[in-house]
Amino acid sequence: MKTRICGTGSALPKRVVKNEDLSKIMDTSDEWIRSRTGIASRHLAVEETLAGLAAKAAAQALEEAEIAAEDLDMILAGTISADRLLPCELQRELGAAKAVAFDINAACSGFLFALQTADAYIRSGQYRNILVVGGEILSKLMDWNDRSTCVLFGDGAGAAVVRPDEAYGILSSVQGSDGARGGVLSCGGRRNNNPYVTNSTALSFVTMDGQAVYKFAVRTVPKAITEAVERAGLTVEDIDLFVLHQANIRIIESVSKRLRVSMERFPTNLSECGNISAGSVPVLLDDVNRRGLLNKGDKVVLAGFGAGLTWGASVLIW
Ligand code: COA
């Protein structure tokens, strides 16, 4: 039994912020951002909620999968920036009363970890119709006085409906985490209001050692992909599309070089979306799906990596 993606969807906030716009409010430039990251603009949520974006993406995925929200057995949402700290918001938005719902915090690997969790539930036979979502409004976790982080990220959400299938679906998965190195990309929790705590820390935002994260990504991602592809009994030459987490075009180019696979097989949306963390893989997957770049039987790699540190890769037959 395999876990098959039967429908995809995505939603981005209306407001587009270009590099030139950022250069008017901080000491940066289009040239600096573009040359180091490949990012030209990003969507930032001004009015939208994450649950609203996720519900929009989910509705498209449900429509393509021809499943009603009421028929969902489970909703798994990969995110670190939910509107509220407690879960089940998307379930309420969708009216998916029968579903079991919870959030998964694996930062930029959130969609991959949610998909792999869904795969385990489906192969165990416990659930059949699962909605997997990855989405973020990371702009609210950014320090807008820190130009080295805030220019990199964008907001948005993507979704996939997965169901059991005999022939098509996930062939293999790899996942990993390394909490010992987590300090290179971090974000503190809420301010503690407990009257018994005297050393409560201040409000906290995302902090990052960019070069350490870069090195982690270019070493770990090709390794994880190679392992997942081998576990599937394939070689990287057999893979039609590599849908990678969109953090930096130089990271994607380095992965393509290390795997000796042409960049043509690595679709990107980084230029228009920036890094949407848990949202980036499902938003890009929906984009390639809607553009008709995925044919039945194609072999696809999905891979995510990021804070934690965490990483995950899955190989599937579309
Ligand atoms: N605009 C202009 N200058 C900036 C800037 C910005 N937005 N952000 C930082 N700088 C400056 C720094 O202050 C520093 O200046 P200094 O040399 O005078 O101290 C300089 O640019 C650093 O530049 P450089 O050494 O070329 O940076 P880099 O090549 O390491 O690139 C990143 C920085 C963040 C783009 C890169 O390290 C990266 O992409 N890392 C991975 C991050 C990532 O993907 N994180 C998410 C993973 S899920």
* pLDDT tens column, 122-174: 999 999 999 999 999 999 999 999 999 999 999 999 999 999 999 999 999 99
CA distance linking residue 208 with residue 151, whole number of Å:
12
* pLDDT tens column, 10-28: 999 999 999 999 999 999 9
> Could you tell me if the CB of 290 is within 6 A of ligand 1?
no
Q: Which of 108, 150, 269, 289 is catalytic?
A: 108
Among candidate residues 134, 166, 198, the one where a domain is terminated: 166
> Could you tell me if the CB of 303 is within 6 A of ligand 1?
no
Q: Are residues 209 and 97 in the same domain?
A: no
Among candidate residues 166, 183, 210, the one where a domain is terminated: 166
Q: Are residues 192 and 265 in the same domain?
A: yes
> Could you tell me if the CB of 41 is within 6 A of ligand 1?
no
> Could you tell me if the CB of 87 is within 6 A of ligand 1?
no
Helix extents (H) in the chain:
19-25, 30-37, 50-65, 89-94, 110-124, 147-150, 210-231, 249-259, 270-273, 280-290
Residue 204 has what pLDDT? 84
Distance of CA 210 from the midpoint of ligand 1 (Å): 6
Q: Are residues 118 and 158 in the same domain?
A: yes
Strand pairing of 100-104 and 74-78?
Answer: parallel
Q: Are residues 105 and 25 in the same domain?
A: yes
> Could you tell me if the CB of 28 is within 6 A of ligand 1?
yes
- Among 209, 214, 250, 275, say which to mutate for ligand 1: greatest number of ligand atoms within 8 Å of CB: 214
Can you tell me which atom of ligand 1 is nearest the CA of 307?
48
Domain that holds residue 255: 171-317
Residue 62 pLDDT grade (very low, low, confident, very high; cuts 50, 70, 90) = very high
Active site (annotated) includes residue 105: no
Residue 226 pLDDT grade (very low, low, confident, very high; cuts 50, 70, 90) = very high
Residue 141 has what pLDDT? 92
Among candidate residues 115, 148, 166, the one where a domain is terminated: 166
Give the chain's domain count: 2
**Whose alpha carbon is nearest atom 35 of ligand 1?**
36
Q: Are residues 200 and 287 in the same domain?
A: yes
Residue 3 pLDDT grade (very low, low, confident, very high; cuts 50, 70, 90) = very high
Active site (annotated) includes residue 194: no
Q: Are residues 182 and 66 in the same domain?
A: no
Strand pairing of 130-136 and 156-165?
Answer: antiparallel
Q: Are residues 250 and 216 in the same domain?
A: yes
Q: Are residues 144 and 178 in the same domain?
A: no
DSSP 68-120: -GGG-SEEEEE-S--SSSSS-HHHHHHT-TT-EEEEE--GGGHHHHHHHHHHH
Whether pLDDT at 102 is above 90: yes
Tell me what percent of the residues of the chain surpass a pLDDT of 90: 89
Whether the predicted model's global pTM rises above the 0.85 cut: yes
Q: Are residues 178 and 109 in the same domain?
A: no
Q: Are residues 158 and 189 in the same domain?
A: no
CATH code of 43's domain: 3.40.47.10
Q: Are residues 313 and 224 in the same domain?
A: yes
Active site (annotated) includes residue 245: yes
Q: Which of 6, 129, 245, 289 is catalytic?
A: 245
* pLDDT tens column, 184-208: 888 887 778 888 887 766 778 988 8
Q: Are residues 190 and 205 in the same domain?
A: yes
- Among 22, 32, 36, 220, say which to mutate for ligand 1: greatest number of ligand atoms within 8 Å of CB: 36
CA distance linking residue 278 with residue 141, whole number of Å:
14
